[in-house]
Amino acid sequence: MSAEAEQQLRIALLSYRSKPHCGGQGVYLRHLSRELVDLGHDVEIFSGQPYPVLDRDEIRLTKVPSLDLYNDDDPFRNPSPSEFRDWIDVLEWLHMRTGGFPEPLTFSLRVLRELKKRRGDFDVVHDNQVLGLGNLGIPKLMPLVTSIHHPISQDRQIEIDAAKGIKQNLGKRRWYGFVRMQAFVSARIGRILTVSSSSKRDIVKDFKTDASRIHILPLGVETEIFHPRGERVPGRIVAMASADSPLKGVDVLLHAVAKIATERDVHLIVVSKPRKDGPIVKLIKELALGDKVKFVSGISDEELGELLASAEIAVVPSRYEGFSLPAVEHMASGTPLVASAAGALPEVVGDAAALVKPGDAEDLAATIKRLHDSPEERARLGEAGYRRVQERYTWKAVAIATVEHYRSAIRTAR
């Protein structure tokens, strides 16, 4: 083994928000940081709120606090004058008050200020899809690697298409104004990691980024948590998806379940927390699904693993996915999976899931009914999904490959 391959790296991981149990960015940060430390590297995370859950005492967390304007318990709050610390806080508040989403920009400015104080402390910086203007200053300090799980331009277009009326349409366009900044930054930084060929194509197309700088590196799954566990609950359908995001297709799944429930004894559990009186809560009432649908959130990893392994059928109904870690977690649990043929999902699941047309509740309902009625097909898909995960998706393999990209970025910067 070469001296370079044995060298311990000092790694700074950046994440403007790191929700630990849902949202791909927080999950990615948690598992990658653990595996990097287990490989012998020194890891420090710079994060805004919500802060990450970390699995090793050796991982250091440097908090880079925002005004926390999107706290789950008090979203779009107005901070008191005493909370403002500097001009970046004022910029963040003004941006929010005019309908924008400032966190990627303001986090990047704050973390650049912190890294300037720490010049020489790190061998490489790894940005977890911040892509703020402040990132353009990082390569002047130390080598930079950037992860783009998928371009948010895809979320933006789906949200705009789902908007009702001019006011909502303009509001979505303003909220997603940061996407232009991310495209600008993406086209001007160095090595980029993404999770699938589908995401790479979309980054090149939407962010006008040179394809030669984009490298494909799939995500992993925590197989100690997600694995088969025995008996399954008859009729149980499970999905993990942000309830109120049109991108994730929970509305399509609810329409499908409403059709199935008239003929089959099924019930749906969604790992998410919908907005009170939001569109999904209203749709459940319209479809009279109150006793057939349950939402759960804030559960432990062990409880989540047990839930996924208890399902008779798992569904990923997204209108787009750059990768879909939930799909891999369902497959790792040995649960037969139904997934939309959207974005990277066909690439991720291969022949180990039943694919349906994105946004088509009729197709989704028919496929779920077919699986519900066929224990043989459920067993075949469950086994195929489990095998695919063991062969392709482990966090240790992801970390080892990521380190090689770090070393390449360091060599290029010399």
Output the average pLDDT for the chain. Answer: 95
Ranges of CATH 3.40.50.2000 domains, the chain: 3-220+394-413, 236-392
In sequence order, which residues have a C-beta less than 8 Å from that of residue 132 and are 6 or more positions away?
Answer: 16, 104, 105, 106, 107, 108, 109, 181, 182, 185
- Over residues 114-138, the pLDDT tens digits come to 999 999 999 999 999 999 999 999 9
Q: Is residue 20's pLDDT more than 70?
A: no
- The whole-number pLDDT of residue 25 equals 83
Q: What is the mean pLDDT of residues 222-248?
A: 94
Which residue has tokens 């197309």? 205
What integer pLDDT is reported at residue 414 of this predicted model? 82
Q: 236-392 belongs to which homologous superfamily?
A: Glycogen Phosphorylase B; (3.40.50.2000)
d(CA 124, CA 36): 13
Name the band, by pLDDT with cuts 50, 70 and 90, for residue 19.
confident
pLDDT tens per residue, range 133-180: 999 999 999 999 999 999 999 999 999 998 989 999 999 999 999 999
Q: Is the pLDDT of residue 3 over 60?
A: no
* Assigned CATH for 3-220+394-413: 3.40.50.2000
User: What is the pLDDT at residue 23?
Assistant: 58
Q: Is residue 49's pLDDT more than 90?
A: yes
What mean pLDDT comes out for the span 85-104? Answer: 97
The percentage of the chain sitting over the pLDDT mark of 70, rounded to a whole number, equals 98
- The confidence score (pLDDT) of residue 252 equals 97
Measured CA angle at 107 (ends 68, 93), to 5 deg: 50
4 band by pLDDT with thresholds 50, 70 and 90? low
- Compute the average pLDDT of residues 51-57: 94
Question: What number of other Cβ atoms are within 10 A of residue 208's Cβ?
Answer: 11
| Interval 6-26 mean pLDDT | 85
Q: What per-residue confidence (pLDDT) applies to 21?
A: 58
Compute the half-sphere exposure of residue 405: CA atoms within 13 Å on the CB side of its CA. Answer: 24
